[in-house]
Every structure is written in structure tokens, then in C-alpha cells.
A = this chain, B = another copy of it.
């Protein structure tokens, strides 16, 4: 028996918006600690990881571990049937082949019930690197989204150059080139708008904007985004251990005392400057 209740159902809508264009099928792993999902994107280039703590739910019960494989496009369609202010309840029986979603309106006079068929998905093991990142950039998520969108006009890849006092996002293409420089903000600035850089050594890496634009769809989840990177490791090291992590906290925003109930992390390998690729 599994049951999870989230008063602020709009959080689930935002999570689905943030991953459904990247991953079509995935399994939610449910344990007494919470629900989580890991999956490669369709082109097997990036990796998405969602984690929701059990104590972030308004009610959470998980008698034994479950793996709920499903089509995320279908889940997204169903979740869109909930109003933004609905309470969402996810239910699953042990060993069942479906989950039930309940959408309760605030006045409780209306309840919608949807069922989604589950799928048996090959549970590919996803080795998420347990790396310590030397460079961490925390910045307004809408600014990050805007920068990625703007630079997509210029080229396919963004080059991120980071120093202690600021970070530069650059791109180049047929029509010219562009770059945006952000200075680290004073600590007195309000937290939402702050740009915070934490680093041991300078860094310069390139990433495919196509994926970053997909990641940036998580912007409604959090006012700030955290980019974590490490300078290039020596050639020959496996690429998976040298990635960029784009992380958004999932918070209960409507509450008077907002609390983080989980996170969504995207992992992307840097684009190697290889003249072979067009």
C-alpha cells in the first residue's frame, strides 16, 4: 500500500513540465523515505534526477518499496487535468499494474479520480557520479533561462567561463557572437536576485544549449538555480565523471514558511571541442 498526498498539487504539474520533454518513460522509486526518479533523456545524452522527500508530503505512507514504471507523457496529460489549487493524492496497491491519482478541489465538493497503467521498464542502472564539484554558481533561474534562450539565437553551444568575481556565458555562430557577464552580487541583495560563485579554480567549459534550454523548463520550480561543474579532468578519464549539474530546489512556495521538499537535478557532459562534430 502506497499513498502520498500533496496539498500543493501544482508542484507536480511543474515537475512534469520540467521533465516530460526530456524523458518519455521512467520509473518512480517509492520507499519510506520518499519518491525519486532517475532517467536518461531520450537521446541518452543527459540525465534527470528527481527526488521528493516523504516529509515534504502532507501525508505519506509506503509499506514496502515499489517501482512504478510509467509513460511520463501520459502522466503529464493526466496531471494537467488537476487544477492548480487541487490537492493531489497518489495511490498504488502492492504489485498492482496501475496507480490512482485523486484530485481534490479546495472546497472538497469535487473529486476527480484518474488511473494510469504501469509499465515494466528495463531498469538501466544509472551511475550518477558522486563527485565533489569545484565550481558552484547560484543565480536567478529566470536569468539562466533567458541567457540560454538568447544564446541559442547565436549558436548551438554555450561556453561558461567562471572566475571568482563573475561568470561569462558565451556563444558564437554564423551571424556573429555573444556573451553575457554576470558579476557576483553583494550579500546585501535580496536572495532571489543574487548571483553567488563558489570556486577553487577557474573553469571554462562548453555545453549544448539544446539541453540547457530543456533543463531551464524547471524555472517555475525555484527562483534560483545552481550550476555545479569541475575543471576538465585529464584526458582519458571517463566523461561521466566530468559533468555539469543544473539543480533546482523543489519548494513549497505558497506556505508562509517555505520549505524544500526535494530537488530536480540535470546532468550534462560538456561539449568537447571536436572539429568532427558539425
Contacts and interface: CB of A to CB of B under 8 A. Distances in A.
Contacts of A111: 180-181
Interface stretch (A11-19, A73-81, A259-267): A73-81
Contacts of A113: 178-181
A98 interface: yes
A176 B111 CA distance: 17
A112 B180 contact: yes
Contacts of A178: 78, 81, 112-115
Interface residues of A, number: 32
A53 interface: no
Given A109-B183, A183-B109, A114 B177 contact: yes
Contacts of A78: 153-154, 175-176, 178
Given A81-B150, A112-B179, A114-B176, 4 more contacts: A80-B153, A109-B183, A113-B180, A114-B178
B153 A110 contact: no
A59 interface: no
A185 interface: yes
8 contacts: A80-B150, A110-B182, A110-B183, A112-B178, A113-B180, A115-B176, A115-B178, A116-B175
Contacts of A216: none
